[in-house]
């Protein structure tokens, strides 16, 4: 029996019992769809984290009051809040002095939330960021209109700003905001630029911000607040050396003994990835494992219906054997049928999961991503489930005695 003939027989059997085949497929459809939806949500989250890591920059890292590990538990974060010192302007100057062999550039940022107003229009809970003049370059901030501020404007604490896309759309929907004056927590700033739209993640806008010169920000909100340093290395080869150099300077400034842990944080893409794996790695494995149980149930349903099919088609099997069909032919016939059932269910499950993932992404702030590798694995697994589930029924069918089978009613 050639494969094509076995496939035709499987199609005829499936189409001959449409309702039963559909009910049999439901287990595989739901199993595959559930697994794919979970994978798409996990991959969407991972893609978002990767995107944020990419925003850090290839050769960039940050120095801040808390390390990534400090966020791994409530106890550790409370300990860091108690013992970690603020990052000061003096630390900024000390790290800036390291520029040269390993370090290319150093910038500083600080921030708060506040109220922004233009004429009678107000925006509450807006991110107010004070940054050094080189931060837009380090962060690769793209300007849609106008410009960022200059080092001279920062040094002289000028009241200038560039704003996020959402702020521009709210305040200046029908005209350019360049040259206009807005009020940030009651103080007047001149708009000199508008950043390109970044979009939103998890329902939170990334474009609702106002950026002002760092010295201007500190003169308004107080210099006794912790800042964050952004450091870039000269090249990928000097990245680790740059980190070691900054680490040594910060530990020396804080008079830490060799056996004392850091009371500050150096945040790198690797550290963020490690935290993600630590927190979500186990969750990912458990979630996929639990949802995969539905596939096992689907396989049991296929095995059950194939056993019923063997019983119903006993006389057919006897006739085929009497006409020369070998055990291998009968085995192949039922294995192809069970595999085809599972593969059709898997394909339908992938299609349903894709539609649900896109619907979730369009109606909610939850990002989703469906890699082709996951689709291929899902189809392979569903087909394998059908193949494995059909082995015993096919074996039973192949072992039937043709004479006894032909006597069956």
**150 token code pair:** 């200059």
Flag whether pLDDT at 244 surpasses 90. Answer: yes
**Nearest 5 degrees, angle CA 368-CA 373-CA 376?**
110
Q: Is the pLDDT of residue 268 over 80?
A: yes
Q: Which positions ≥6 away from 207 have C-beta within 8 Å?
A: 164, 165, 166, 167, 195, 197, 198, 199, 200
Q: Which of 222, 238, 263 is the last residue of a domain?
A: 263
Residues 308 and 334 placed together within one structural domain of the fold: yes
Whether 138 and 287 map to the same domain: the answer is no
Question: Are 292 and 248 found together in one domain?
Answer: no
| Residue 56 forms part of a structural domain | no
359 C-beta neighbours (distance < 10 Å), count: 11
Q: Are residues 245 and 286 in the same domain?
A: no
Contact 189, 210 (CB under 8 A): yes
- Rounded to the nearest 5 degrees, what angle is found at the Cα of 168, between the Cα atoms of 163 and 173? 170
Confidence check: pLDDT of 168 > 80: yes
Same domain, 258 and 283: no
Please tell me the predicted confidence (pLDDT) of residue 1: 47
393, 310 Cβ separation under 8 angstroms: yes
89 & 178 share domain: yes
User: Is position 337 within any domain?
Assistant: yes
Burial class, 93, CB count within 10 angstroms (exposed 0-12 / middle 13-18 / buried 19+): exposed
Mean pLDDT of 249-259: 91
Residue whose C-alpha is closest to residue 200's, from 323, 361, 313: 361
Shared domain for 257 and 290, answered yes or no, is no
pLDDT tier at 213 (50, 70, 90 boundaries)?
very high
Any domain includes 63: no
Q: Tell whether 245 is covered by a domain.
A: yes
Residue 229's H or E segment, with its range, is strand 228-233
- Residue (of 332, 310, 301) closest to 393 by Cα position: 310
- Does 135 reside within a domain? yes
Percent of all residues in the chain with a pLDDT value above 70, rounded to a whole number: 81
In a domain, 130, yes or no: yes
Q: Give the Cα separation of 292 and 8 in Å (integer).
A: 30
Q: Could you read off the pLDDT of 103-154 as tens digits, one per residue?
A: 999 999 999 999 999 999 999 999 999 999 999 888 888 899 999 999 999 9
Q: What are phi and psi of 86, to 5 degrees?
A: -70, 150
Most confident range (mean pLDDT) of 4-8, 18-22, 108-112, 358-362 is 108-112
pLDDT at 186: 92
Spatial contact of 335 and 390, defined as CB atoms under 8 Å apart: yes
Give residue-wise pLDDT tens across range 391-401. 776 676 667 66
Contact predicate 253/124, CB 8 Å: no
Q: How far apart are CA 153 and CA 181, in angstroms?
A: 16
Using the predicted structure, report yes or no on whether residue 55 has a pLDDT greater than 60: no
Two structure tokens written together for 300: 């049991």
Geometric angle at alpha carbon 368, from 201 and 279, rounded to 5° = 80
Residue 219 has pLDDT above 60, yes or no: yes
- Could you tell me if 184 and 247 lie in one domain? yes
Tokens representing 34 are 């559930």
In a domain? residue 97: yes
Q: State the Cα angle at 92 between 126 and 98, rounded to 5°.
A: 140
Strands (DSSP E) found in 119-169: 121-131, 143-146, 160-163
Q: Are residues 138 and 221 in the same domain?
A: yes
pLDDT tens for 182-194 read 999 999 999 999 9
For residue 206, with 0-12 CB atoms within 10 Å meaning exposed, 13-18 middle and 19 or more buried, which class applies? middle
| Domain boundary pick from 203, 235, 263 | 263
Q: What is the pLDDT of residue 81?
A: 85
Helices (H), ranges, 225-268: 239-253
Q: Quick one: 45 and 123 in the same domain?
A: no
| 100 and 45 within one domain | no
CA dist 193 → 80, 150, 310, 388, 402 (Å): 37, 12, 74, 63, 85
Is the Cα dihedral 151, 152, 157, 163 positive or negative? negative
**Number of domains comprising the chain:** 2
Residue 404 pLDDT exceeds 70: no
DSSP string of 181-217? EEEETTEEEEEEEEEPP--EETTEESS-EEEEEHHHH
Instruction: Give the range with max mean pLDDT: 2-16, 129-143, 258-272.
Output: 129-143
Instruction: Please check whether residue 146 lies inside any domain of the structure.
Output: yes
Are 108 and 255 in the same domain?
yes
31-40, 83-92, 325-334: segment of lowest average pLDDT:
325-334
How confident is the model at residue 279, as a pLDDT?
64
For 352, the domain range is 3-51+279-406
- Band (pLDDT 50/70/90 cuts) for residue 91 is very high
Last residue of a domain, one of 221, 237, 263: 263
Query: In angstroms, rounded to a whole number, what is the distance separating the alpha carbons of residues 178 and 355?
Result: 43
């Amino acid at each position: 029996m050639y494969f094509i003939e076995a496939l035709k027989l499987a199609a005829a059997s499936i189409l001959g019992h449409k309702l039963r085949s559909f009910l049999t497929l439901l287990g595989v459809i739901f199993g595959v769809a559930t697994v794919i939806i979970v994978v798409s949500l996990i991959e969407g989250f991972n893609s978002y984290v990767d995107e944020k890591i990419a925003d850090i920059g290839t050769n960039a890292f940050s120095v801040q009051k808390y390390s990534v590990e400090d966020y791994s538990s409530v106890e550790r974060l409370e300990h860091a809040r108690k013992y970690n010192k603020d990052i000061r302007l003096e630390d900024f100057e000390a790290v800036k002095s390291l520029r040269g062999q390993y370090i290319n550039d150093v910038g500083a940022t600080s921030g708060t939330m506040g109220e922004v107003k233009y004429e009678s229009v107000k925006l509450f809970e807006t991110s107010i960021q004070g940054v050094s003049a080189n931060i837009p370059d380090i962060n690769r901030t793209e300007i849609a209109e106008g410009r960022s501020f200059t080092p001279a404007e920062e040094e002289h604490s000028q009241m200038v700003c560039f704003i996020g896309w959402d702020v521009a759309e709210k305040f200046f929907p029908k005209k350019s905001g360049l040259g206009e004056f807005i009020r940030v927590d009651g103080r007047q700033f001149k708009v000199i630029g508008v950043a390109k739209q970044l979009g939103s993640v998890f329902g939170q806008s990334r474009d609702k911000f106002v950026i002002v010169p760092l010295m201007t920000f500190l003169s308004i909100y107080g210099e006794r607040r912790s800042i964050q340093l952004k450091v870039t290395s000269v090249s990928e080869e000097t990245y680790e050396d740059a980190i070691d150099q900054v680490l040594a300077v910060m530990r020396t400034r804080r008079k830490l003994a060799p056996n004392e842990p850091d009371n500050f944080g150096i945040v790198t893409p690797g550290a963020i990835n490690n935290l993600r794996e630590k927190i979500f790695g186990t969750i990912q494995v458990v979630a996929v494992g639990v949802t995969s149980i539905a596939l096992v149930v689907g396989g049991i349903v296929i095995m059950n219906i194939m056993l019923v099919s063997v019983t119903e088609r006993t006389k057919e099997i006897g006739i085929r054997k009497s006409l020369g069909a070998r055990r291998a032919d009968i085995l192949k016939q039922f294995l192809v049928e069970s595999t085809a059932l599972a593969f059709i269910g898997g394909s339908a499950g992938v299609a349903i999961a894709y539609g649900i993932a896109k619907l979730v992404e369009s109606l909610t702030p939850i990002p989703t991503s469906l890699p082709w590798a996951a689709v291929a694995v899902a189809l392979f697994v569903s087909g394998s489930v059908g193949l494995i589930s059909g082995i015993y029924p096919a074996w039973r069918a192949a072992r039937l005695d043709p004479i006894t089978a032909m006597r069956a009613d």
